[in-house]
Amino acid sequence: EVQLVESGGGLVQAGGSLRLSCAASGFSFGDYAIGWFRQAPGKEREGISCISISNGKTYYADPVKGRFTISSDNAKNTVFLQMNGLKPADTAVYSCAATPFTCAAITTLSYRYIEVWGQGTLVTVSS
């Protein structure tokens, strides 16, 4: 079965850290770019980070640059999003997604190029 399964969300105080995981199965992990979207209540979805599994290139949106780090464990077909210095503005449902194209599909919200979506995990940052 082709799927992405996220884990690691939860409630954290401002300034704290969380690590999200996105475990992939059912497709050729190394041929994809894996990205993270988030959607806060009442706001549009935004693509916040992406990693190209084949070459390790990464992308970060400005709101998370310097605080979030994306990485992959290719042996375990898993992508991680380490989130440090969390702010209440980071409160959102975080979803990972896989595209056989480049990270541009994530950064430009080109949903037609997204092949697999995770179910989403809620991150709540209290002030």
Give me 120's structure tokens.
Answer: 């989403």
pLDDT of 97 reads: 97
pLDDT of 106 reads: 92
pLDDT of 68 reads: 98
pLDDT of 67 reads: 98
pLDDT of 30 reads: 96
User: What is the per-residue pLDDT across 44-66, written as a single tens digit (0 to 9) for each?
Assistant: 999 999 999 999 999 999 999 99
What average pLDDT does this structure show over 80-104?
97
- Residue 10's pLDDT band (boundaries 50, 70, 90)? very high
For the chain, give the percent of residues with pLDDT over 90.
Answer: 96
Residue 20: phi and psi, rounded to 5, are -95, 145
pLDDT of 38 reads: 97
Mean pLDDT score of the chain: 96
What average pLDDT does this structure show over 34-42?
96
Contacts of 88 (CB under 8 A, 6+ apart): 14, 125, 126, 127
Residue 44: phi and psi, rounded to 5, are -75, 155
